[in-house]
Structure 1
């Protein structure tokens, strides 16, 4: 007990010694002289801290629920409907144009194959309209609607029809969903010289599948034109220009 009391008195004495030491604060400078005053940390008044108050504009007034009002939602729907109506014709034209271009590229590839094989093999190579890919019957059709598909074959008999001894080079599927492909003849033949036979016509017209005509129909409709010398080209519009 005496030990605790002595330690307590020692602590009190140390605090008293420290409190007797003053801290001099510099309050200004003039001619390199310092005016100081003593500061007693135990007996000095407490330092007041600045206080802040929230204005009415910054005070929390409660929770607000974010969202759209009915009028705002109706305005957004109206604008979306207008934009959709404006974009619909352009989108339809783009889809139909891509479909027609797909059919044109496929037939142009088959025509190039037939001409190249005719020159390479030294025999007649024919392209004919055929539903072989759909029906499984590998034979030329009598229709001039080429959108059902076609065949590319080596025509040894040179008569425009597929015989048992002829060699089939390509069987093309239907393009009916892409639109119509019409020709006045049901076949197109290339001679060993690369020229087109006099009987067959090398003019193919492509039209979109839509029943209603688009505003820029002449830009969508395409025609494959070929000369008797075997030159093949694609033009926009309804006929081959000179």
Structure 2
């Protein structure tokens, strides 16, 4: 689980740095096929990072795909974003993120061994074993 948490931390940091470097929004979204953002799948089925020229949080013709991650083995990964946004994370050119929220990683060991990546508006991810409100993590 630690390696996968670090993988997502790296991808969030990559998206943030690309947004700052390029001076344009960069979105990370869940995907099932590596060709478009998914609405119904879970994050453990894979995700992609792309330059989001029009900030519509969907990959469009002419937008550059930066990275595609393959499905995770034996892990569940969910994202609970502010205002019920759970499909994407978008970094702005100043490095800020929307929405803020929590990625939760779970495996067959249950809630006691769950890990979280918490994103605040500043865009810097942090790893935690509790929720953003210091409560227990939940696995679904």
> So what's the TM-score if we normalise by structure 2?
0.85
- 2:76 corresponds to which residue? 180
Q: Is the 8 A contact 2:102 2:116 kept in 1?
A: yes
- Looking at structure 1, the residues matched to 53 and 67 of structure 2 have their Cα atoms a distance apart, in angstroms, of 16
In structure 1, stretches of 5+ residues that fail to align are: 1-99
SS at match of 1:128: strand
Q: Does 1:151 align with 2:48?
A: yes
**Rg (Cα) greater in structure:** 1
For the residues of structure 2 that align with 1:232 and 1:109, how far apart are their CA atoms?
9
Give the alignment of 1:52-131 within 5 angstroms.
100-131=1-32
Structure 1 residue ranges (4+ consecutive) displaced by more than 3 angstroms after TM superposition: none
Structure with greater strand percent: 2
1:206 equivalenced with 2:105 (yes/no): yes
Larger relative contact order, structure 1 or 2 (CA cutoff 8 Å, min sep 6): 2
Higher helix share: 1
Relative to structure 1, the CA distance from residue 223 to residue 188 in structure 2 (aligned partners, 3 Å threshold; closer, same or farther) is: same
Task: Give CA deviations for 1:186-236 in whole Å, capped at 9, x if unaligned.
Answer: 100000000012xx343101111x2x64xxx42x21110011111210001
Task: Give SS of 1:233's match.
Answer: strand
> What's the C-alpha RMSD, in Å, of the aligned pairs?
1.6
SS of the aligned residue for 1:228 comes to coil
How many equivalent pairs are there? 129
Gap regions ≥5 residues in structure 2 = 81-85, 135-140
Q: Deviations over 1:33-63 (max 9, x none)?
A: xxxxxxxxxxxxxxxxxxxxxxxxxxxxxxx
- 2:122 match: 229
Deviation by residue 1:122-171 (Cα, 9 ceiling, x = unmatched):
000000000225xxxx1110036100000000000101111112100001
Paired with 2:74 and 2:3, the residues of 1 have a C-alpha distance of 8
